[in-house]
A and B are shown apart, each in its own frame.
Chain A
Amino acid sequence: MTRPRWTPAGLRVTSIVVVLLVWEVAARWFLNPEFVSPPSKVLAAFPGLFADPKLTAAIGVFCAELATAFVIAVGLGTIVGLIVGSTRFSYRTLFPIVLLIYAIPQITVLPVFVLYFGIGTASKIAFGASHGIFPIILNVVSGLKSAPPQHVLSARTMGASRLQIVRRVLLPQLVPALFAGMRVSIAITLIGVVLAELYVSQNGIGYFTQNFSERFDPADLFGLVTILAVIAIVLSEGAHRLELHFNRWR
């Protein structure tokens, strides 16, 4: 009789099951139920979470904040990136300033955002967008820089107009760079929005995480956190697919 051999997929599934079982046993019999919930209880809490119209509204608001912040980050980031990267002069003067601002750990200015934009959705959108804008700027600038100067020059020699150069030479370089930037951008826009939500929230997800914690209701809290994690995974996976799609022609 031969010993059954482990495959990576089999071992992975087995270990995940083992972790869940250990968690279940530990949470059920050994740990304080006010602080930890076993996976079975978290699973059982989901219907209740989705049945609460205030909570589903909060998740909806969260998604709307995220979407708005992302659209602002991409739009504004593209414009700034085009301005910074379009001429040598603007690149030399503005790009160091962009890098300087990017180097500041943004979390330190979160209270400033709340001070300016209030405790409502505006501060979450602004803080999320302030995170997501940098990958867009950096990628648009590097996309413009990556267009080989010979191509621009030869297009010009053959009598291409300015518009034609932009459309036929620069844009094809720009699109893949933009999508690469968007993939990074969506992930850190999410971080920005979550940070702002957790910092202060009236009726968003931050309000509910705090509420569940104060009620010592770990099953609901874990459930909500799982929903957020799923949103994050779906977004990053989707952005990854999109990026692959737009890079395929290369």
Chain B
Amino acid sequence: MIQVGFFVLFFALWWLESVAGWINPIIVPHLQDVLTAFAGVVTSAETLGALGTTLSTFALAYGGAIVTGIAVGYAVSSSRLLTKTYEPVLAAIYTIPLIIFFPTFLLFFGIGVKSKIALGFLAAFFPIALNTIAGFTGVDDRLRIAALTFGATRVQMLRRVLFPGAFGIILTGLRIAFIPCFASVLAGEIIASTSGLGHEISYSAAMMEPARMFAYVFVAIFIAALFNFGLTTWEARRAHIAI
């Protein structure tokens, strides 16, 4: 309710400013111009292409991180020695802001989508791998031993004991990784790219078209909000089922 009121106040002030013309429209573009640009942006094929690039980059980065994160997490958690050896290493790397390494990705993978996939992948990989390790090592030892005594194979152990036991924590890892992964892809596109939503934002800024830039910023924020909303409702429903 208050948030809606805040929105209304924000846009009312902006409209007032546009009508009165206090500030240079290069700095704060008129609300009407942004709305016109927004309508143009939303209906243009260009935006659809940019959106497609961003979302497919994100999907590749996130999907790749899920597969390798869970695989590496499983491998590391398969023995106590490996867990004790590599879990601290993964945790230590996770504390370094990975955006620092982006220039090297740019050099290595080029300015195309590959460097963004790499950045988004790393942003998602560490939380997923760390949560997978926590999930698998947290499975009750008695369950494991019981399954072993009944002669469970490796695959059966994974399917019937480890996965069900660790499922919740692994899902939490996937959720934690989601927004940083999406933000990293956008960040990569804004800093250096040739296509995508982030590219459109920084390109409009460079072309001194603030109205268009704001329109694209709103599109990006809207998508992020949509993702956030989807995640929270999904999580709420899951919590409901768990109870």
Give the B-binding residues of A (Cβ under 8 A): 6, 8, 11-12, 15-16, 35-36, 92-93, 96-97, 100, 103-105, 107-112, 114-116, 187-188, 190-191, 194-195, 198-199, 209-210, 212-213, 216, 218, 221-222, 225, 228-229, 232-233, 236
Task: Give the Cβ gap from A226 to chain B, nearest Cβ, in Å.
Answer: 9
Set of chain B residues within 8 Å of A114, measured between Cβ atoms: 205
B→A interface (CB under 8 Å): 2-3, 6, 26-27, 81, 84-86, 88-89, 95-97, 99-104, 106-108, 179, 182-183, 186-187, 190-192, 198, 201-202, 204-205, 210, 213-214, 217, 220-221, 224-225, 228
Give the contacting residue for B102; candidates A8, A16, A115, A198; CB below 8 A: A198
Contact A107 B190 (CB under 8 A): yes
- A38 CB → nearest B CB, Å: 14
**A108 CB contact (under 8 Å) in B27, B96, B217:** B217
Q: Which residue of B lies closest to A104 (CB)?
A: B221
Choose from B81, B96, B183 the contact partner of A11 (Cβ within 8 Å): B81
B100 touching A111, Cβ below 8 Å: no
Give 27 pairs: A residue, B residue, CB < 8 Å, sorted on A: A6-B85, A11-B81, A12-B89, A97-B2, A103-B224, A103-B228, A105-B182, A105-B183, A105-B221, A107-B198, A108-B186, A111-B201, A112-B205, A115-B26, A115-B213, A187-B95, A195-B187, A198-B102, A199-B202, A210-B103, A218-B107, A225-B100, A228-B100, A229-B100, A229-B101, A232-B95, A233-B95
Distance in angstroms between the alpha carbons of A34 and B95 in the assembled complex: 29
Q: Judge whether A194 and B202 touch: CB under 8 Å.
A: no
The CA of A36 and the CA of B109, in the complex, are separated in Å by 11
A187/B217 in contact, CB under 8 A: no
**Residue of A with least CB distance to B9:** A97
- Is A110 within 8 A of B190, CB to CB? yes
Given A108-B221, A115-B210, A191:B97 Cβ within 8 A: yes
Contact in complex: A12, B221 (CB < 8 Å)? no
Which chain A residue has the least Cβ–Cβ distance from B227?
Answer: A105
* A103 to B227 alpha-carbon distance, docked (Å): 11
Q: Is the CB of A213 within 8 A of B106?
A: yes
**Complex CA–CA separation, A96 to B3 (angstroms):** 6
| Bound Cα distance A218, B182 (Å) | 27
Q: Which residue of A lies closest to B206 (CB)?
A: A111
Q: Bound state CA distance, A212 and B103, in angstroms?
A: 9
- Nearest chain A residue, comparing its CB with the CB of B84: A8
Q: Would you give the shortest CB distance from A23 to chain B, in whole angstroms? A: 12
Known interface pairs A97-B2, A103-B228, A233-B96; A12-B85 also in contact (CB < 8 Å):
yes
Number of A-B contacts (CB under 8 A): 123
User: Which residue on chain B has the smallest CB distance to residue A236?
Assistant: B95
Asked if A195 and B99 sit within 8 Å, CB to CB, the answer is yes
Partner of B108, one of A8, A36, A191: A36
**Residue ID in chain B nearest A208 by CB atoms:** B103
Across the interface, do B2 and A92 meet the contact criterion of CB distance under 8 Å?
Answer: yes
Q: Is the CB of A225 within 8 A of B220?
A: no
Query: Is B221 a contact partner of A213 (Cβ separation < 8 A)?
Result: no
Question: Complex Cα distance A15/B2, Å?
Answer: 54
Collect the chain A residues with CB atoms within 8 Å of residue B224's CB: 103-105, 108
- A8 to B, closest residue via Cβ: B84
B213, A194: Cβ atoms under 8 Å? Answer: no
Residues of A within 8 A of B85 (CB): 6, 8, 11-12, 15
Known: A96-B3, A221-B104. A111 touches B213 (CB 8 A): yes
CA distance in complex: A105, B183 (Å): 6
CB atoms of A187 and B213 under 8 A apart: no
A96 to B192 alpha-carbon distance, docked (Å): 34
From B109, which residue of chain A is reached at the shortest CB distance?
Answer: A35
Known: A15-B85, A187-B97. A218 touches B104 (CB 8 A): yes
Residues in A with CB closer than 8 Å to B183 are 105, 107
Q: Whole-angstrom distance between the alpha carbons of A104 and B187 in the complex?
A: 13
